[in-house]
Amino acid sequence: MFNYAFLGTLRRCIDKKIAVLTSGGDAPGMNACLRSIVLAANHYSISVLGFEHGYNGLINNEFIELSYAAINQGIHLGGTLLKSARCEKFHLPSYVELAANHLNALDIDALIVIGGDGSFRGLQVLSQIWNKPVIGVPGTIDNDLFGTDYTIGFHTAVETVVGAIDKIRDTADALERIFLVDVMGQHSGFIALQASIACGAEFAMYPESKLSEHQEIEEIIAHIEAARKLHEKNSFIMVLTENHPIGNAQQVADMLTKQIGIECRPCILGHIQRGGTPCAQDRVLATKLGACAVDSLVSGKNKMMVGEVKNEIVLTSLTDTYEKKKQLDIALFAIQHQLFDLVNELNSD
Ligand code: F6P
């Protein structure tokens, strides 16, 4: 369990300088996290430099001084004031070395990276040649990092998806249509599971369902047919995770139309899921984790990610965050499947 030194005795770290950057897909709450990092660092008299455009900022030596005044008004803003990027160059050792040289030239004492699995892989590589402490903060809408129940941005993304599906439901009901809604998640079903339960979707498909493509199509058809027999004139909404082996929303819609002759409408929600004002839960999580990231550095931690598990702050080694597979909430998964099965049972009564 994490010891909140930050809330305890004040330790001055005058003349210390830390750097922070946001990397990969942006996530609502990243700005709240930056604000918290700056506030916590101020508490210890540590100054903060913000590198812009993810790891590109380290490579190109693009940075700004992150003062409290610069960041204080950002808690409610989506995106990231530091900008973000996916940085292909960081896969090449020569660029990682260049980044380390820039950090050394600026006398940076530690680095915090807010991002997802790709960003932490990059941080781990950097830490092999840059000999100063590094800490990761989980910031991705996908919620696919081991070592934290939730990542910054996930709750807002789920709210966005639920709001969008509620709207789709209106038109689906009006026209008695089947809709296939494609949601983000990269290769995991966290968004799909939570959002499909919250909006009462009739079916959901995500990688963790572990059905073969053939079984999955059969199951979808069985559900549509059962639901349609039960309530002939109702809409039917299926949530599908992007990159699903079965195909994208358009392909699955076409497949279903071909096999059961019913018209299906695909809807790819796309990048609206990453934008918008962070919800309160994400702002609170971001504030907690930002402060704890600074605290971890002050108490000598290195190559760890700060996360929250069962309401406790925990530290997990960077490598574990992306090498270990985070499981979906088993209880929620079971409830969803029981509800899906109910439709079939009711129909056979
Ligand atoms: O990792 C966050 C995420 O939004 C994923 O859900 C999605 O697969 C990916 O980023 C999209 O990335 P990009 O905006 O680079 O296309």
- pLDDT tens readout for residues 288-344: 999 999 999 999 999 999 999 999 999 999 999 999 999 999 999 889 888 887 766
Cα separation values, 49 from 13, 43, 101, 190, 283, Å: 15, 16, 15, 33, 22
Residue 21 placed within a domain: yes
For residue 219, the domain's CATH number is: 3.40.50.460
Last residue of a domain, one of 252, 274, 296: 274
Whether 153 lines ligand 1, by a CB cut-off of 6 Å, is no
- Our answer to whether residue 142 is catalytic in this structure is yes
Residue 29 shares a structural domain with residue 127: yes
Higher pLDDT: 225 or 270? It is: 270
Residue 48 shares a structural domain with residue 126: yes
pLDDT given at position 62: 98
Residue 88 placed within a domain: yes
Residue 22 shares a structural domain with residue 136: yes
**Which atom of ligand 1 lies nearest, measured to the CA of 242?**
8
Residue 172 shares a structural domain with residue 253: yes
Residue 33 shares a structural domain with residue 143: yes
**Which atom of ligand 1 lies nearest, measured to the CA of 142?**
6
- Is 60 exceeded by the pLDDT of residue 226? yes
Which residues lie below 8 Å from residue 225, measured CB to CB, with a gap of 6+? 260
- Is 70 exceeded by the pLDDT of residue 9? no
What is the percentage of the chain residues whose pLDDT exceeds 70? Answer: 93
Residue 132 placed within a domain: yes
Q: 270 C-alpha to center of ligand 1: Å?
A: 9
Q: Whose CA is nearest to atom 14 of ligand 1?
A: 25
- Is 90 exceeded by the pLDDT of residue 270? yes
Residue 107 shares a structural domain with residue 168: no
What is the percentage of the chain residues whose pLDDT exceeds 90? Answer: 77
Residue 232 shares a structural domain with residue 117: no
Whether the CB-CB separation of 114 and 30 falls below 8 Å is answered with yes
Q: Where are the beta strands (DSSP E) in the chain?
A: 17-22, 47-51, 63-65, 110-115, 134-138, 178-183, 203-205, 236-241, 264-268, 304-309, 312-317
Whether the CB-CB separation of 219 and 200 falls below 8 Å is answered with no
Domain region containing 57:
4-153+278-323
Residue 344 placed within a domain: no
Whether the CB-CB separation of 328 and 189 falls below 8 Å is answered with yes
Q: 48 C-alpha to center of ligand 1: Å?
A: 28
Last residue of a domain, one of 274, 294, 311: 274
**pLDDT band (50, 70, 90) for residue 8:** very low
Q: 25 C-alpha to center of ligand 1: Å?
A: 5
Q: 40 C-alpha to center of ligand 1: Å?
A: 30
Whether the CB-CB separation of 142 and 151 falls below 8 Å is answered with yes
Number of domains in the chain: 2
Q: Where are the beta strands (DSSP E) in 67-143?
A: 110-115, 134-138
Whether 141 lines ligand 1, by a CB cut-off of 6 Å, is yes
Residue 308 placed within a domain: yes
Residue 345 placed within a domain: no
For residue 315, the domain's CATH number is: 3.40.50.450
- Is 80 exceeded by the pLDDT of residue 35? yes
- pLDDT tens readout for residues 171-206: 999 999 999 999 999 999 999 999 999 999 999 999
Residue 308 shares a structural domain with residue 196: no
Give the C-alpha separation, 177 to 199, whole Å.
16
**pLDDT band (50, 70, 90) for residue 213:** low
**pLDDT band (50, 70, 90) for residue 212:** low
Residue 348 placed within a domain: no
**Mean pLDDT in residue range 129-152:** 98
Dihedral angle of Cα 189, 146, 282, 66, to the nearest 10 degrees? -130
Whether the CB-CB separation of 161 and 195 falls below 8 Å is answered with yes
**Mean pLDDT in residue range 108-125:** 98
**Mean pLDDT in residue range 55-69:** 96
**Which atom of ligand 1 lies nearest, measured to the CA of 24?**
1
Residue 16 shares a structural domain with residue 145: yes
Cα separation values, 217 from 31, 180, 257, 312, Å: 41, 13, 12, 41
Residue 88 shares a structural domain with residue 111: yes
- Is 50 exceeded by the pLDDT of residue 164? yes
Which among 26, 117, 142, 282 is annotated as catalytic? 142
Q: Where are the beta strands (DSSP E) in 81-170?
A: 110-115, 134-138
Residue 9 shares a structural domain with residue 149: yes
Cα separation values, 223 from 66, 230, 260, 266, Å: 53, 10, 12, 17
Q: Whole-number mean pLDDT of the chain?
A: 92
Residue 194 shares a structural domain with residue 290: no
Which residues lie below 8 Å from residue 48, measured CB to CB, with a gap of 6+? 17, 18, 19, 20, 37, 38, 41, 65, 66
**Which atom of ligand 1 lies nearest, measured to the CA of 273?**
4
The pTM for the full model equals: 0.94
Residue 241 placed within a domain: yes
